[in-house]
Amino acid sequence: MSRSILGVALASHLSAFARTPVDVDVPGVQRWIDGHTHKQGISLSQESRRAVILSTSSCLLVPTGGPGCGKTFTTKTIVVFWKAMGKSILLAAPTGRAAQRLAEMTGREAKTINQATSLTLDWNGLQSEEMPSIWFLDC
Residue boundaries of the structural domains of the chain: 3-18+41-137
Report domain 3-18+41-137's class.
Answer: alpha beta
pLDDT digits 0-9 by tens, 15-52: 776 777 777 788 999 999 999 999 999 999 998 999 89
Query: Which of the listed ranges 7-11, 36-40, 81-85 does the model predict with the highest average pLDDT?
Result: 36-40
Classify 86 in phi/psi space as left (phi over 0), alpha (psi -120 to 50) or beta: left
d(CA 30, CA 9): 36
pLDDT digits 0-9 by tens, 90-124: 888 888 998 898 899 889 898 888 787 665 545 45
The pLDDT, as a whole number, for residue 104 is: 92
Is the predicted pLDDT of residue 60 greater than 90, yes or no? no
The pLDDT, as a whole number, for residue 34 is: 95
What order of strands is seen across the sheet that includes strand 89-93?
A: 60-61, 134-137, 89-93, 110-112
Is the predicted pLDDT of residue 126 greater than 50, yes or no? no
Q: Which residue has the higher pLDDT, 71 or 139?
A: 71
- Backbone phi and psi for residue 72, each to the nearest 5 degrees, phi listed first: -60, -50
d(CA 115, CA 42): 34
The pLDDT, as a whole number, for residue 40 is: 92
Pairing of strands 110-112, 89-93: parallel
- Backbone phi and psi for residue 138, each to the nearest 5 degrees, phi listed first: -95, 90
Which contiguous run of DSSP H or E holds residue 8?
helix 3-19
The pLDDT, as a whole number, for residue 46 is: 92
